[in-house]
A and B are shown apart, each in its own frame.
Chain A
Amino acid sequence: MKNRLKVLRAERDWSQADLAGRLDVSRQAINAIETGKHDPSLGLAFKIARLFETPIETIFLEDEA
């Protein structure tokens, strides 16, 4: 699954550690999500959407078949 997390984070000038702190996850978790190595749980995806005040589907994009 692709995502726009890095773009949204950069727009706010947050580091991975800043974002991790706001979401109460490790920096490694943010790194893994941004690089597409880890798909977040639904709970974390909602938390991310709430933090960026944007719908989930505009952050996480389904891979085209």
Chain B
Amino acid sequence: MKTASTSPAERRYALFLTMVHLGAAATLLLIATLAFDLPSFVDGLPLGMLLVAIGVIMVRKLRDDYVEQLWKAGTASAFVAVIICFLVAPLTYGVLDDLIGSGVAWREYGIPVQLPAAVALIGFYAGFYWRLLAGGQEA
């Protein structure tokens, strides 16, 4: 039988990971609210969950040496995701549009205001979980 972990470091790790899972679930819900026409009360739910989850994982005292590495993997991945989506993609589109000439500017697509946050969050969780699972730890 698995015994309950009691050391403060174990509790901090468990809390941090729980908040990461909560944040990941909230991000999926946020994407669902962007993609589908869900009832208005659902719109605020992922934002509330994200506020709690991100607020907790920002607390540096919760991160030990290993968790810090997971955090760095997540933030690096989020940075790359934002650069690709909001710098490389529009630039590539602009170059291609110049060649093909669709006549529709990138900004005319009306990118939702929540999209940059969603991309950064997806990037963070992708990097975090990739590092966690590559390290062979239970998620």
Instruction: Report A's interface with B, CB cutoff 8 A.
Output: 17, 20-21, 24-29, 31-33, 35, 37-38, 40-41, 43-44
Contacts and interface: CB of A to CB of B under 8 A. Distances in A.
Interface residues of B, number: 17
B9 A26 contact: yes
7 contacts: A25-B9, A26-B9, A28-B135, A29-B67, A32-B69, A32-B135, A35-B135
B-side binding surface: helix, strand, loop or mixed?
helix
A35 B66 CA distance: 13
Given A17-B10, A38-B65, 14 more contacts: A17-B5, A24-B7, A25-B66, A26-B10, A26-B12, A26-B66, A26-B67, A28-B137, A29-B64, A29-B65, A32-B66, A32-B137, A38-B69, A40-B65
Contacts of A44: 65
A20 B14 CA distance: 14
A31 B137 contact: yes
Residue of A28, A29, A43, A44 most packed against chain B (CB within 10 A): A28
Contacts of B65: 25, 29, 38, 40-41, 43-44
A27 B64 CA distance: 10
Contacts of A33: 66
B7 A17 contact: yes
Given A17-B5, A17-B7, A38-B69, A24 B135 contact: no
